[in-house]
Amino acid sequence: MDLFKKCQATVKEVERAHQLGIYPYFTPIESVQDHRVIINGREYIMIGSNGYLGLAADPRIKKAAIEAVEKYGSTCSGSRFLNGTLDIHINLENDLARFFNKEGAIIFSTGFQTNLGIISAIAGKNDIILIDRQNHASIIDGCRLSFADLKKYRHNDIEDLERILKSLPDNKGRLIIVDGVFSMEGDLANLPEIVKLKHKYDARLMVDDAHGIGVLGENGKGTCEHFGLLDEVDIIMGTFSKSFASLGGFVVADKDVITYIKHTARALIFSASMTPASVASAQVALNIIKKEPQRRKRLWEITEKIIKGFREIGFDTGNSETPVIPVIIGEDEKCFTFWKWLYEEGIFANPVISPATPPGRALIRTSYMATHTDEDIEKILDVFRRSAEKFELTR
């Protein structure tokens, strides 16, 4: 049997979507990714970005990146473990540890690699990992690499999580891993109840807070701070590609855990280190998160307007309570057609289908930035209001 035969089915699906004019992926953007972007010379309102604080266009971020390249060059040409550690890597790690009131931190080259590295290092064949069924793909792949026994519980179902925990043998290590903010539908993990179960069943807890840090909490420390549980979560993972307007990922935890990850995580040891420009821009973004709470305030004003507006129109927005706000469509092809209509109206959003969502629950994933204007919001709601009538999507 030809190994490449499996490629044909995907090729046919892609070609069909192109023929129907509803292929939505790999769209080249010709400008900085701010609240408005340029595609094929036309301006679009961007509601498909994860740059929640709108820092990608911030001149301070750009300046830091340029200065880092001038001083350190374009790359480190090696892994952190060997020749790829710069003083700015260490400075950023120390600042992250202090920010989260943890003993240590380590940064990775991408967010995906961060989860692969943490999970495959910290859990092994004699351990058990428990994850929410809607956790990010990087968590699932990290679990596969760990060789630990993997148990999945129903989405945000605390009773199901406890049912599984009750059944586990006492001689196995237990690690619960959960997204702080679920990236497709914007709902929050029930961390208070998960923490209770962590203590009750002698487990450890890791939170992937890629979409919460910079957005949630009084000081922007994310979902754990939002619930007042920073000290109760053993491992916090975050990314620099969202609120930090950079690229990379990090983990904060107790010193012993960080030391162990630094010396055993293959995704760290065998990957080139985070580039100087990315480190410098993430450092400036961290300082902005600390010093400019007005950005979070504006982001939440926008979020509340959109959620209220969508629900008044009659859209199903799931259980979102964050700047990630889905519009549930249903069937995949209808979702693509809806996306195409939004695109023609000057709105750039993201269509999401299975396996990123459950089958039959395709959605338009919208997300918002602190830099969106009142004019942007008015147009977004107007376009979606007209789309509701056109596609009969109201409940």
Enzyme catalytic residues? 183, 211, 242
Judging by beta carbons within 10 Å of its beta carbon (0-12, 13-18, 19+), is residue 42 exposed, middle or buried? exposed
**CA 133 to CA 1: how far, in whole Å?**
33
- Picking from 145, 151, 254, the residue whose alpha carbon sits closest to that of residue 197 is 151
Instruction: Tell me phi and psi for residue 129, to 5 degrees.
Output: -110, 135
